[in-house]
Amino acid sequence: SQQGEEDPQALSIQEGENATMNCSYKTSINNLQWYRQNSGRGLVHLILIRSNEREKHSGRLRVTLDTSKKSSSLLITASRAADTASYFCATDMSGGTSYGKLTFGQGTILTVHP
């Protein structure tokens, strides 16, 4: 079953605007990760936020995590046409001897118009 549910399914904005994508999940997690996928390509890791962290930044990316609401958001500031891609959240519920088993959401398709 899909642990992460993303919202919106599609987002269309103008270059320079900010883009916010949300992810909700159902069970306790070790960490939550965001990935980007250009059409027909593999996924690229963007940022990882641990369950004991509330906010993390990387360049133009800002990720928040609210474990009480079981939700996360990804903010891309000052978007560029090159940011056009699908964005996926993935939750890591593994522990003990089982590492790296991620459960992915269905993704948000972001289109940035020049």
Partner 1 sequence: DGGITQSPKYLFRKEGQNVTLSCEQNLNHDAMYWYRQDPGQGLRLIYYSQIVNDFQKGDIAEGYSVSREKKESFPLTVTSAQKNPTAFYLCASSTVSNNSPLHFGNGTRLTVT
> Which residue ranges make up the site for partner 1 (CB under 8 A)?
1-2, 4, 30-31, 33, 35, 40-45, 48, 50, 88, 90, 92, 97-107
Q: How far is the CB of 29 from partner 1 (least distance, A)?
A: 11
In terms of DSSP bridges, do strands 85-92 and 19-24 run parallel, antiparallel, or are they unpaired? unpaired
Nearer to partner 1, 10 or 78 (CB): 10
Q: How far is the CB of 44 from partner 1 (least distance, A)?
A: 7
Q: Which two tokens stand for residue 4?
A: 């992460």
* Pairwise CA distance, residues 113 & 34, whole Å: 22
Nearer to partner 1, 43 or 112 (CB): 43
